Chains A and B, each alone.
Chain A
Amino acid sequence: MTRMARTLFDKLWNAHLVRDLGGGTGLVAIDRVLLHERTGGIALKALEESGRPVRDPARVFVTMDHVVDTLPGRGDRTIMPTGTDFILATREAALRAGATLFDIGDPRQGIVHVISPENAVVLPGLTLVCPDSHTCTQGAFGALAWGIGSSEAEHALATGTLRITRPKQMRVTVSGELAPGVTAKDLALHVVARLGSGGGRAHVIEYAGPTIAALPMEARMTLCNMATELAAFTAVIAPDAATAAWLEGRTYAPRGEDWQAALADWADLNTDDGAAFDREVAIDAADVVPMISWGTAPQQSVPLAGRVPRLAEPAPDAAPTTPEAHARALAYMDLAEDAALLGLPIDAAFIGSCTNARLPDLRAAASILAGRKVAEGVRAICVPGSTRVKAEAEAEGLDRVFLDAGFEWREAGCSMCFFSGGEHFGEEERVISTTNRNFESRQGPRTRTHLASPATVAASAIAGRIADPRELEAH
């Protein structure tokens, strides 16, 4: 009898299934737990108070990213009121627990989903969780990585496992070549606009096909990062030679014989021919163009050169919406149906976040910014995703390009991807941003956020209005 064809997810699930708990739930072994100061301190302290030890501190990694300042010369003090309490509580709890801490001032510090791959904390075939919804970013490495709440983090810390309802499976196959100037961020927004903010609910999404295989690792991370904007359980991409080449030699990557053994194991981490999915979606890369969000949910995104959709005449591929959601988004964003997005004046531009603040993202923006100036009156900020990204960018002279153009050049962290009570963009200011969420008040009370790629944000910062980077010749 031939063996059942299995998906990548089936293989990851089976390898980690400690026990089938019945009713579609499994007790699943967790290889790595990542924490950050926004919720890590709470999880570790709550566990301590319950009298339970961390089962295996060696598998726990902690960073400072969410509330830490990104201003030059930062320390434990924060613009966010009470932010220091989060930093101190998390540092103390991490040290008491014996976890590995990437603290402020450590060259390994940065946004959790940037530094984990950088240090090879995530590896193909691992299960990895973090109390952060963008943990799906790390599925780009062929790991099963997903976001959890604080209680589940306590559970993973105490038991080395989680009780998981097995998700359904969806494969999104992308074929063809992305046109010049079309990035993984545009592809991610294209997918969300088409499937909808709830389009991946209860599914693990495998991104597959020749277009995905051709994406560099950073682009794969950007794509997987936004799976949570589809309400997906997580996303995965089968590891390949590019994955291994990217990881080799990094801090926690296997070495010597272990590296060879790992490569042998990873060779089987792919979906068998004939394996069945609950849902299949096919995307032609030729249909993907530079995108921008117009509303207050990521699915409210359209081609950069397009117009705010009419509720009555949605784009042929667009996910359904309700009149109430459509009207509310229009009012919040101060836009009318059929308005052009190109040319809309902006107040600020932000390059940062776990979506788009890795080295190739900064290079793409810098190639637009070189020799140009940010438009008068536009506040422009670049926050590298990690201290390492910042150092590598500075070694290439990218910091000078950003600074000469009129951008602020910051220390690594999540920064103004979200508003935490401290620093924010102003009320009703229009911001173009490389981040992942355009929710109401996400970047500050009543701030209006448009999501786009780093190149689009850079071009818009120069123009002072939403602009197409393809119309500016890269220097």
Chain B
Amino acid sequence: MEPFRILRSIAAPLIRDNVDTDAIIPSREMKSVSKKGLSVGLFAGWRYSDVDARVPDPAFVLNRPEYANAKILLGGGNFGSGSSREHAVWALAEYGFRAVIATGFSPIFRGNCVRNGVLPIAMDPAPFDEPGLVLEIDLPAQEIRGNGRTWHFDIDEEAKLMLTEGLDPIALTLLDRPAIDAHESADRQARPWAWSVLPQGDAA
């Protein structure tokens, strides 16, 4: 995963409440058993006036030329609500988005962002919805800079660590294997009923 440090980009405003993951990547756009090839289906229901023929709807924000290379997306409340499908973030990332600034996020979507190198910033997006404004997001400093102004944003330590280091969380957790093994051994003693019922009995 590519580390996230400093990102400079214009921000595309899609400031609506409850932009759900069905809207971000409609279910019918998830055609293959793969994480790839999803960006063409990003916001398909809104982005195309004819979805089947892929005719762009010029009114949709991402089809406006000034946002062609936007790496930052602005959203409203409860962004990424609905289905847990990680395809929503895979599609956003493949399209080129590396950060979403929204009033609030669904928790599963937010976690999916962090695990795919997309920075979710929970704050009011209104100040960034200004024509032509180029933003600089500095994750180590937890700052957004633009137009000579600076805004601070909050992010939990775990998400910051994952994003800034581009860490593979599985590799990181596997370093704790001895602690996991010890926890499981103790749990098998403490709660035998939780283990003896498993289909292959004591598999480990």
Which residues on A are within 8 Å of B, measured CB to CB?
A: 18-19, 21-25, 27, 29, 31, 38-39, 41-42, 45-46, 50, 52, 56-59, 80-82, 85-86, 89, 98, 100, 120, 123, 125-126, 131-133, 147-152, 154-155, 158-161, 163, 165, 167, 197-198, 201-202, 228-229, 231-233, 252-255, 258-259, 261-262, 265, 296-297, 321-322, 324-325, 328, 418-421, 437, 439-442, 445
Contacts and interface: CB of A to CB of B under 8 A. Distances in A.
Interface string B30-59: 111111000000000100000100000000
Given A198-B78, A258-B196, A421-B27, A27 B176 contact: yes
B82 A133 contact: yes
Contacts of A120: 197
B204 A56 contact: yes
A468 to B, nearest CB: 28
B198 A59 contact: yes
A165 to B, nearest CB: 5
Contacts of B174: 158-159
Nearest to A198: B78
Which residue, of B18, B26, B81, B180, has the highest number of chain A Cβ atoms within 10 A? B18
B173 A161 contact: yes
Given A148-B84, A254-B197, A439-B82, A25 B158 contact: yes
A86 B17 CA distance: 32
A131 B18 contact: no
A86 B33 contact: yes
Contacts of B106: 133, 201, 228, 231
A85 B32 contact: yes
Interface string B168-188: 011011101101100110010
B191 A439 contact: no
A259 B78 CA distance: 42
Nearest to B196: A258
A93 to B, nearest CB: 9
B107 A161 contact: no
A231 B89 contact: no
Contacts of A445: 45, 51
B17 A321 contact: yes
Contacts of A255: 197
Nearest to B158: A25
A324 B157 CA distance: 34
Which has the most chain B C-beta neighbours within 10 Å: A21, A231, A420?
Answer: A231
A419 B78 contact: no
22 contacts: A23-B158, A24-B156, A42-B35, A45-B33, A50-B170, A58-B203, A89-B33, A123-B194, A148-B108, A149-B115, A152-B111, A152-B115, A158-B174, A159-B173, A159-B177, A163-B172, A201-B105, A252-B199, A297-B18, A322-B76, A421-B31, A440-B23
A83 to B, nearest CB: 9
A131 B84 contact: yes
B19 to A, nearest CB: 10
Interface string B150-176: 000000111100000000011011101
B86 A27 contact: no
B113 to A, nearest CB: 9
A120 to B, nearest CB: 8
8 closest A-B pairs by CB = A23-B157, A421-B28, A149-B86, A254-B193, A58-B203, A149-B112, A258-B193, A262-B193
A406 B29 CA distance: 33
Nearest to B88: A149
A190 B28 CA distance: 31
A297 B200 CA distance: 43
Given A19-B179, A159-B173, A125 B28 contact: no
B64 interface: no
B25 to A, nearest CB: 12
Contact of A324 (B16, B29, B156, B177): B16
A254 B192 CA distance: 9
B196 A18 contact: no
Of B33, B51, B116, B157, the most chain A CB neighbours within 10 A belong to B33
Nearest to A299: B18
B84 A261 contact: no
Contact of B104 (A38, A98, A100, A201): A201
Contacts of A324: 16-17
Nearest to A424: B28
B31 A81 contact: yes
Contacts of A163: 158, 169, 172-173
A229 B204 CA distance: 37
A42 B191 CA distance: 32
Given A231-B78, A231-B106, A440-B45, A82 B31 contact: yes
A295 to B, nearest CB: 10
Nearest to B104: A198
Contacts of B131: none
Contacts of A233: 107
A393 to B, nearest CB: 27
B85 interface: yes
A253 B199 CA distance: 11
A159 B179 CA distance: 11
A42 B31 CA distance: 12
Contacts of A322: 17, 76-77
